Amino acid sequence: MKTIHKFSAIALVAMIVITSGCGSKRSPGRVYMPDMAYSRTYEAYDLLDSTKFTGDVNNKGGNMIYFNAMPAAGSIKRGDLFPYTLPNDSIGYNMSGAIANPVGELSVADMAEAGRLYNINCAVCHGAKGKANGPMSGKVGGIVDITLPQYQALGDGTIFHVMTYGKNNMGSYASQLTKEQRWKIVKYVRTLQGGGAAATSDSTNTATAVPDSTANAKKTM
Ligand code: HEC
């Protein structure tokens, strides 16, 4: 008899313990290890109290935003080219001519790809052959014939600089084209200018097919 009482008492206590955690679905109830129930989450884009979370003495007490920070200045993505550090001003423009093209001789496939990128991004203004006769000529002021001697004389770095920052009515292509793509396009521009070892790629399918598509685009616009 005594044993039965003891047993039911234990069972009752066990039931209370088990069920007490289930009162509400949202509450974990009694928790044995709070660190596990209430994990310390770092919410993306949440404002955190920088007195607790930052070692930045200049920003103590202010709020800081977690997890959307830009990479540290000077970080280079694996496999990426070195950052282009010349500033977007006349000094940077003048110095850019001295920057060598880090991309070597392009293979036929790479040149075709550079031509494809040129036709997507540049031909709309400069024309498939660089003669300033793209569909936007006349609609955007000041488009130049980049095959003229004065543009042949520009350094590779300057053409890259202009693509990176834009110039007057020409916008920046830094967000559309990677650094490598921009340097490759410089090589393609050289072929339009009639120079460079790959000038013969004018006779490849891409280069000849493209003027047609631009011409069609012009007709339909
Ligand atoms: C929206 C039309 C437009 C597009 C698209 C465009 N450009 Fe231009 N580009 C211009 C205009 C306008 C100028 C003349 C800028 C000036 O000197 O006032 C120019 C100038 C240039 C120059 C001469 C730069 C110099 O230093 O004088 C080069 C080279 C050039 N563009 C290459 C490109 C390349 C490569 C692309 C594609 C990535 C491109 N452009 C896309 C409008 C455009």
Instruction: Mark whether 105 and 195 lie in a shared domain.
Output: yes
Q: Which of 2-6, 69-73, 148-152, 191-195: highest mean pLDDT?
A: 148-152
What tokens were used for 132? 């300033």
Domain co-membership, 214 together with 113: yes
CB within 8 Å of 185: residues ≥ 6 apart: 114, 117, 118, 121, 122, 163, 177
CA distances (Å), 133 to each of 17, 124, 141, 181, in order? 82, 8, 12, 23
Specify the pLDDT at position 33. 75
Q: What length is written for the chain? A: 221
**108 and 155 belong to one structural domain:** yes
Q: Is the CB of 162 under 6 A from ligand 1?
A: yes
Same domain, 162 and 207: yes
Domain assignment present for residue 46? The answer is: yes
Residue at 146 is within a domain: yes
Q: Are residues 159 and 107 in the same domain?
A: yes
The residue among 29 and 188 whose pLDDT is bigger is 188
Average pLDDT over residues 109-123: 97
C-alpha 103/C-alpha 159 separation (Å) is: 14
Query: Which atom of ligand 1 is nearest the CA belonging to 168?
Result: 18
Q: Is residue 76 part of a domain?
A: no
Does residue 144's CB lie within 6 angstroms of at least one atom of ligand 1?
yes
Domain of residue 60: give its range.
Answer: 31-69
Same domain for 209 and 166, yes or no, is yes
Task: Report how many domains make up the chain.
Answer: 2
> Does residue 102 belong to any structural domain of this protein?
yes
Q: Taking 60 as the threshold, does the pLDDT of residue 87 lie above it?
A: yes
Q: Judge if 105 and 63 occupy the same domain.
A: no
In this prediction, residue 17 carries a pLDDT of 56
Kindly report the protein residue whose alpha carbon is nearest to atom 22 of ligand 1. Answer: 146
Give the least confident one: 51-55, 189-193, 204-208.
Answer: 204-208
Residue 113 has pLDDT above 80, yes or no: yes
User: Looking at the structure, do residues 106 and 196 belong to the same domain, yes or no?
Assistant: yes
Q: The whole model's pTM is what?
A: 0.66
CA–CA separation, 128 and 50 (whole Å)? 53
Helix axes 108-121, 205-220, angle to 10 degrees: 10
Domain match, 54 and 97 both: no
Instruction: Please indicate, yes or no, whether residues 61 and 124 belong to a single structural domain of this protein.
Output: no
Residues 147, 202, single domain; the answer is yes
Q: What is the pLDDT of residues 165-175, one digit of tens each?
A: 999 999 999 99
Q: What is the pLDDT of residues 23-46, one digit of tens each?
A: 567 776 777 777 777 666 666 666
Q: Cβ atoms within 10 A of the Cβ of 70, count? A: 6
Residue 106 sits in the same domain as residue 164: yes
